[in-house]
Amino acid sequence: MSAFIALVLASFRRETQHRLQTAMRIIGGLVEILARISIWQAVYAGRAAVGGISLDSMMTYALVGGTILSSWEATMIVREVGTTIRTGAIGATLLRPASYPLMLLAEQIGARLFEWVIIGLPVIVVMGAIYGLLPPASLPHGLLFIGYLAVSIAILMLTGILIGLFSFWVFDAHSLEWFMRGLLAVLSGSLVPIWFFPAGFGEVVHFLPFSWITYHPMAVYLGQRDLMASLEYLVGGIGWAGLLALTVAFVWSRACRQVVVQGG
């Protein structure tokens, strides 16, 4: 466990080394959120609410969903796994006294924490001050949101690691990364909440694990469902995360058999 935390902290510290890059990422974050907010302002076109969802709620969805629940950068895990395989570094990785997927998870959590604290928070503060930011619907909703946040990051990272591990067979992580981006763009509800989806499509997407990355946490944050339902969905999300973890463990055990190291 201490090794896991050490890896998380090391990854966080590594991200802090590039100061100018961090400044650019903050500016980039502001630009991205500005685009999301402008889209919702434009489609609401002066209406206070559409389908029971207020413009203020959508601004908060854009702000929180586009920063701490964003899925875009997470696709980098796939690229990292691909690079490890292509360069042959996977051989050295297997010699370490720790599971490769766990190491990946720790490093990604460190990078994610950095994104939340150093990039997400300034963006939320600046854009929230300009456009307004709704607090969680109630204190219990806020507490449940923290649980959803953990489920969101677990599902996102495990999905990334799982897709990345397929590089052992297809050897083309770049393509896998693009597939993941396309999949998450729609199915996580990162820009468009599932309550705006066409009925049949929305009902299917609602129960897929990807919807726990952005949509379900934000639905709870905004109080779109009562506490009992929120708790049920949280359990559902934990179930998906557990299933993904088991799948990653199974795929990793198979992937290890694919590795042939010649020389050193």
| Binding region for other proteins (CB under 8 A) | 18, 20-21, 24-25, 27-28, 31-32, 34-35, 38-39, 41-45, 50, 170-172, 174-179, 181-186, 190-192, 196-198
Shortest Cβ distance from residue 135 to other proteins (Å)? 25
Q: Is the dihedral of CA 188, 192, 205, 141 positive or negative?
A: positive
Query: Is 19 or 257 the residue whose CB approaches other proteins more closely?
Result: 19
Cβ closest to other proteins, residue 36 vs residue 141: 36
The span from the CA of 162 to the CA of 164, in Å, is 5
Closest to 11 (Cα-Cα) out of 150, 112, 149? 112
Least Å from the CB of residue 155 to other proteins = 17
Q: In terms of CB distance, is 116 or 196 closer to other proteins?
A: 196
Q: Residues with Cβ < 8 Å from 164, sequence gap 6 or more? A: 77, 78, 79, 80, 81, 82, 104, 173, 176
Distances, alpha carbon 172 to alpha carbons 83, 84, 175, in Å? 10, 12, 6
Q: What is the token pair recorded at 21?
A: 């890059």
DSSP-assigned letters across all residues of 91-122: HHHHHSSS-HHHHHHHHHHHHHHHIIIIIIHH
Min dist. Cβ of residue 67 to other proteins (A)? 13
Smallest distance, other proteins to C-beta of residue 246, A: 26
Of the two residues 134 and 186, which places its CB atom closer to other proteins in the complex?
Answer: 186
Supply the minimum distance, in Å, between the C-beta of residue 187 and other proteins: 8
Of 7 and 180, nearer to other proteins (C-beta) is 180
